[in-house]
């Protein structure tokens, strides 16, 4: 039987593997993590509301009933498309008849990779736990700090990037400070914390309709978040973030701006865009290789409106399914079909009973947007147990204003 290799167990890879269920192929899915992460809720792990296990499941558990799929834990080093080989970093090589590259993207620092240490981004569970540790530790250090200026800096949180992730982090941080930590400290009021959301462009949530952008900003400001648009960050150093004519002392800086595609894309030897995304054909194959598909955040393709498709779960899911169908057609000797994206809408949550949802046929803000957000995310979580546990967490959080998972774990539990 033809062998299909899928690189990456994110949304794209997982849906591709599942869609190959009824196709006569052997599938191998390779990922350097043993688990799939439900990315849309990753910020809730970073913000101490959910546990890693609530939003992540082992890839081989998800695919345990798909006997045609083999799951390998391993890191892909490079792809040799001419020889139809995938090389792993441990020296192993896997040959394929069809290849689906769904290796995703990570955050980028506008060419300043050194900022990474001072301003972590949010892509993996480890990132989320690191951010959680930094945020909780800042409050702990503030409790022991006697110098008012230093305490001020410890209680200032800068979030760079006003897309959905930045908005969600800022809103959650404001709620932590104003509500969850109330009465927990003896030497300062956590409600005095300053949360500043910094966006280089003229508005937050640039991909949303004007009405929802305004609603999001309004709701954030009501929570006490300071929103600075048209502010391009030019320098990040420990304890400070700087723009051209402005600077902010903040011991905690979080990065929610910029995307860099997986370096694997460049090993395919075909053109990539500025962020390293592979310029794919309309049928999701790459130029000159009709058996190699690139999907999800790693693929660069324009939608019907001529604008690039966004790096969201929906695109990856639909591309994964489409690539699988095209493999099925190739095996049957039929021509491949071009990909068409069905955009069901966008959502971003700001806080308790506050979200914006653009479903195209309707737009919701406030509590209704939030209920829509809750519902959509809950039903899309993989695994009944996850859904149940997350529901318990959210219900409890709603009524108590508490964050359940306020743990400082890892190497340094007392020092920054």
Catalytic residue ranges: 168
Q: Segment near its own copies (CB under 8 A), from 3-11, 46-54, 228-236, 240-248?
A: 46-54
Sheet hosting strand 246-249, strand order edge to edge:
233-237, 240-243, 246-249
Task: Using the rule CB under 8 A, give the single segment among 70-78, 104-112, 196-204, 307-315 that binds its own copies.
Answer: 70-78
Contact flag: residue 385 with its own copies (CB under 8 A):
yes
Q: CB nearer to its own copies: give 69 or 101.
A: 69
27 or 250: CB nearest its own copies? 27
Question: Which of 56, 174, 177, 216 is close enough to bind its own copies by CB under 8 A?
Answer: 56
Does 74 bind its own copies (CB under 8 A)? Our answer is: yes
Least separation in angstroms between residue 183's CB and its own copies is 5
Q: Residue 53 or 238: which CB sits closer to its own copies?
A: 53
- For its own copies, which stretch binds (CB under 8 A), given 111-119, 156-164, 291-299, 390-398? 390-398
Verify binding: residue 125, its own copies, rule CB under 8 A.
yes
In angstroms, the CA 265 to CA 101 distance is 8
Query: Contact region for its own copies (CB under 8 A) — 64-72, 208-216, 262-270, 339-347?
Result: 64-72
Residue nearer to its own copies on the CB measure, 53 or 338? 53
164-177 exposure pattern, b = at least 16 Cβ within 10 A, e = fewer? bbbbbbbbbbbbbb
If binding is defined by CB under 8 A, does position 35 make contact with its own copies? yes
Is position 302 an interface residue for its own copies (rule: CB under 8 A)?
no
- Beta bridge partners, 272, equal 278
Hey, what are 210's tokens?
């004007």
Q: Based on CB atoms, which residue is closest to its own copies, 75 or 113?
A: 75
Q: What is the contact surface with its own copies in residues (CB under 8 A)?
A: 32-35, 51-54, 56-58, 60-61, 64-65, 70-75, 89-90, 92, 125-126, 129, 136-137, 140-141, 143-144, 183-187, 384-385, 388-389, 392-393, 396, 400, 402, 404-410, 413-415
């Amino acid at each position: 039987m033809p062998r299909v290799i899928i690189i990456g167990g994110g949304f794209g890879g997982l849906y591709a593997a599942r869609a190959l269920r009824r196709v006569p192929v052997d599938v191998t899915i390779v990922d350097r993590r043993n688990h799939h992460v439900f990315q849309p809720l990753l910020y809730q792990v970073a913000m101490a509301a959910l546990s890693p296990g609530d939003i992540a499941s082992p890839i081989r558990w998800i695919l345990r009933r798909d006997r045609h799929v083999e799951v390998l834990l391993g890191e892909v080093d490079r792809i040799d498309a001419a020889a139809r080989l995938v090389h792993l970093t441990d020296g192993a090589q896997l040959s394929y008849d069809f290849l689906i590259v769904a290796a995703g993207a990570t955050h980028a620092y506008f060419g300043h990779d050194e900022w990474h240490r001072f301003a972590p981004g949010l892509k993996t569970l480890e990132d989320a736990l690191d951010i959680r540790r930094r945020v909780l530790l800042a409050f702990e250090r503030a409790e022991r700090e006697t110098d008012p200026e230093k305490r001020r800096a410890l209680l200032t949180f800068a979030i760079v990037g006003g897309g959905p992730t930045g908005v969600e982090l800022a809103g959650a941080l404001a709620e932590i400070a104003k509500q969850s930590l109330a009465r927990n400290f003896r030497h300062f009021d956590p409600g005095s914390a300053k949360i500043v959301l910094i966006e280089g462009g003229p508005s937050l949530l640039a991909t949303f309709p004007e009405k929802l952008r305004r609603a999001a900003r309004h709701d954030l400001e009501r929570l006490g978040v300071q929103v600075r648009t048209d502010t391009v960050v030019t320098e990040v150093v420990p304890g400070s973030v700087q723009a051209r004519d402005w600077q902010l002392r903040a011991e905690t800086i979080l990065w929610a701006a910029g995307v860099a595609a997986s370096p694997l894309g460049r090993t395919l030897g075909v053109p990539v865009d500025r962020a390293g995304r592979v310029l794919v054909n309309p049928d999701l194959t790459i130029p000159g290789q009709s058996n190699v598909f690139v999907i999800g955040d790693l693929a660069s393709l324009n939608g019907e409106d001529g604008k690039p498709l966004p790096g969201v779960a929906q695109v990856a899911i639909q591309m994964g399914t489409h690539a699988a169908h095209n493999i099925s057609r190739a095996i049957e000797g039929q021509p491949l079909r071009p990909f068409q994206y069905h955009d069901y809408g966008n959502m971003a949550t700001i806080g308790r009973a506050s979200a914006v949802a653009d479903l195209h046929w309707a737009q919701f803000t406030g509590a209704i947007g939030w209920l829509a957000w809750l519902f959509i995310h809950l039903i899309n979580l993989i695994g009944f147990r996850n859904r149940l546990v997350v529901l318990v967490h959210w219900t409890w959080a709603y009524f108590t204003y508490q964050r359940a998972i306020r743990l400082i774990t890892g190497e340094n539990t007392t020092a920054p």
